């Protein structure tokens, strides 16, 4: 019987380590670049704890589990060197969740088990007592995994900006609840040892209630702090996006002003066209052919400068494309466009301007290669209107697995990282979406809009 009890006790501890290693893997995976690194983190944590358990060292449990989480942190950082501070947050938070959840659950299961085995029937039937012990150990591990796993799950769900670098202040703000919880846990453990020696047993019931409340409140605080901080970040991001959208509206108004100026120039040319034609007729009548051709060429150049080379079927998109073409040519980038505006559809020019400006700005900032180029192409199939904007690209991208968009390497506080998000918003307004393809040294974004419908 004694060997059976020892075996169940050992099995409980080993299974508990294995389950917590799995919880750590699930917690770390969304924050890491590849699943393999998260798997290694969980396995190394379990292996470290198993080694420390079977190889007796002159250290207490708290220090042993500290060694385990430090080892797991080193594996996380070794397999994914991005975002050093975020990995510290993951390690500290998991360490706190592990200890708080285990001891919170132990208070309940130990009290429940004590009441079960104190009955006369259990005293007379040791095998039934062993069976009850096995059941309680299984429930203990399941409950610990549930509490730690649910806490970690809420943090993962609430933590929106997993691919952004965590600042030093943000890291300290998010790990303070974990440190506070663990500090309170250490103080209560110290006084538990003191009370068990110097005070009657009856007071332990009050202590267990207070300890349970502290552990529970600490776990809730860790989760709530992360949720609140991320909500604040989300509101700040929304405010910045609205400011950027306002800037885009101002830009579009500027384009409209340029279009109005273009029309004014065209009206002026139209007003003088009769005089220009009479001048050409007189030159040809007097057989001054060379002067006539020079005059005609000059008139053609003036018209070309006023109206631009790009004719997309809409004056606003004409101006936008012409501006980006001129910008590209200044930088030695080949700019090719066969874009046309979908006349007669429900798609308005303002939304198209948001798409073109954001997509072409991204292309201009990221185009590279020996022969840099940007191309703009549009077509429609049945009700679907497609815009494809491609540029030469030889680099590598990091991807946000949640929204399936590339992660910007520039600071969002400076207005970067919202272009693709704004393009997707416009596409969704017309029951469409965007797709990004990177292959053959080319980055290409495809935007689909429904021309008709609700």
| Residue 138 included in any domain | yes
User: Does residue 424 contact residue 433 with C-beta atoms inside 8 Å?
Assistant: yes
Same domain, 215 and 354: no
Same domain, 76 and 221: yes
CB atoms within 10 A of CB 396: 7
| Residue 267 included in any domain | no
Instruction: Work out the pLDDT band at 1, boundaries 50, 70, 90.
Output: low
Same domain, 8 and 85: yes
| Residue 271 included in any domain | no
Same domain, 154 and 9: yes
Q: Which residues are 375's β-sheet partners?
A: 336, 390
| Residue 299 included in any domain | no
- Span 393-398, mean pLDDT? 79
| Residue 288 included in any domain | no
Give the pLDDT confidence of 309-343 residue by residue, as tens digits. Answer: 667 778 778 888 888 888 898 899 999 988 988 88
Q: Domain ends where: 208, 224, 242?
A: 242
Using the predicted structure, report yes or no on whether residue 201 has a pLDDT greater than 60. Answer: no
Same domain, 23 and 128: yes
Same domain, 29 and 154: yes
For the whole prediction, is pTM greater than 0.75? Answer: no
Q: Domain ends where: 242, 260, 283?
A: 242
Range of lowest pLDDT (126-130, 270-274, 359-363, 390-394): 270-274
Give the pLDDT confidence of 35-79 residue by residue, as tens digits. Answer: 888 999 999 999 999 898 887 667 777 788 889 999 999 999 888
Same domain, 63 and 204: yes
What is the Cα 89 distance to its own chain's centre?
Answer: 17
- Alpha-carbon distance 79 to 272, whole Å? 71
Q: How many residues comprise the chain?
A: 454
Same domain, 217 and 348: no
Using the predicted structure, report yes or no on whether residue 157 has a pLDDT greater than 80. Answer: yes
Same domain, 331 and 411: yes
- Cα-based distances in Å from 361 to 208, 367, 435: 61, 10, 17
- Alpha-carbon distance 218 to 272, whole Å? 81
CB atoms within 10 A of CB 376: 25
Using the predicted structure, report yes or no on whether residue 17 has a pLDDT greater than 50. Answer: yes
Instruction: Work out the pLDDT band at 130, boundaries 50, 70, 90.
Output: confident
Helices (H), 80-167: 84-117, 120-124, 126-158
Question: What is the pLDDT, as a whole number, of residue 374?
Answer: 93
**Residue 149 vs residue 253, higher pLDDT:** 149
Same domain, 217 and 349: no
| Residue 340 included in any domain | yes
Q: How many domains does the chain have?
A: 2
Same domain, 52 and 177: yes
Range of the domain at 452: 311-454
Q: Domain ends where: 223, 242, 261?
A: 242
| Residue 251 included in any domain | no
| Residue 276 included in any domain | no
Give the pLDDT confidence of 406-431 residue by residue, as tens digits. Answer: 766 554 444 445 678 888 888 888 88
- Alpha-carbon distance 401 to 418, whole Å? 16
Question: What is the pLDDT, as a whole number, of residue 53?
Answer: 85
- Cα-based distances in Å from 235 to 173, 219, 242, 450: 18, 25, 10, 30
Same domain, 41 and 143: yes
- Alpha-carbon distance 385 to 452, whole Å? 10
- CATH number for the domain spanning 392: value is 3.30.565.10
């Amino acid at each position: 019987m004694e060997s059976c009890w020892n075996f169940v006790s050992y099995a409980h501890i080993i299974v508990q380590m294995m389950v917590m290693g799995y919880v750590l893997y699930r917690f770390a995976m969304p924050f890491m670049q590849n699943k393999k690194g998260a798997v290694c983190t969980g396995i190394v944590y379990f292996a470290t704890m198993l080694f420390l358990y079977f190889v007796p060292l002159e250290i207490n449990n708290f220090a042993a589990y500290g060694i385990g989480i430090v080892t797991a942190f080193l594996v996380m950082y070794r397999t994914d060197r991005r975002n050093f501070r975020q990995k510290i947050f993951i390690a500290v938070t998991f360490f706190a969740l592990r200890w708080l959840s285990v001891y919170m659950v132990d208070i309940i299961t130990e009290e429940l088990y004590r009441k079960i085995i104190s009955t006369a029937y259990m005293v007379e039937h040791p095998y039934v007592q062993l069976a009850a012990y096995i059941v309680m150990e299984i429930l203990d591990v399941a409950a610990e995994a549930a509490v730690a796993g649910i806490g970690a799950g809420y943090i993962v769900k609430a933590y929106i900006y997993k691919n952004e670098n965590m600042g030093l202040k943000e890291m300290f703000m998010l790990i303070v609840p974990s440190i506070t919880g663990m500090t309170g846990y250490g103080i209560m453990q110290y006084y538990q040892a003191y009370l068990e020696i110097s005070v009657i047993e009856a007071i332990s019931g009050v202590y267990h209630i207070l300890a349970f409340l502290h552990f529970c409140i600490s776990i809730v605080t860790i989760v709530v702090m992360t949720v609140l901080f991320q909500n604040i970040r989300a509101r700040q991001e929304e405010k910045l996006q609205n400011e950027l959208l306002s800037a885009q509206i101002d830009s579009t108004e500027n384009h409209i002003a340029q279009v109005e100026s273009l029309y004014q120039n065209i009206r002026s040319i139209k007003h003088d066209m009769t005089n220009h034609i009479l001048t050409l007729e007189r030159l040809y009548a007097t057989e001054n052919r060379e002067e006539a051709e020079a005059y005609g060429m000059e008139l053609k150049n003036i018209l070309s400068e006023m109206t631009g080379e790009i004719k997309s079927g809409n004056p606003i998109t004409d101006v936008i494309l012409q501006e980006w073409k001129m910008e590209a040519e200044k930088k030695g980038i080949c700019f090719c466009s066969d874009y046309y505006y979908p006349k007669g559809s429900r798609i308005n020019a303002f939304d198209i301007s948001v798409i073109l400006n954001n997509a072409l700005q991204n292309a201009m900032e990221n185009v590279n290669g020996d022969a840099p180029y940007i191309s703009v192409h549009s077509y429609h199939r049945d009700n679907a209107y497609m815009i494809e904007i491609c540029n030469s690209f030889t680099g590598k991208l990091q991807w946000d697995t949640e929204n399936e968009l590339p992660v910007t390497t520039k600071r969002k506080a400076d207005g970067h990282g919202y272009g693709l998000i704004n393009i997707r918003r416009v596409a969704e307004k017309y029951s469409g979406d965007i797709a990004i393809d990177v292959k053959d040294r080319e980055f290409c974004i495809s935007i689909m809009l429904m021309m008709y419908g609700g």
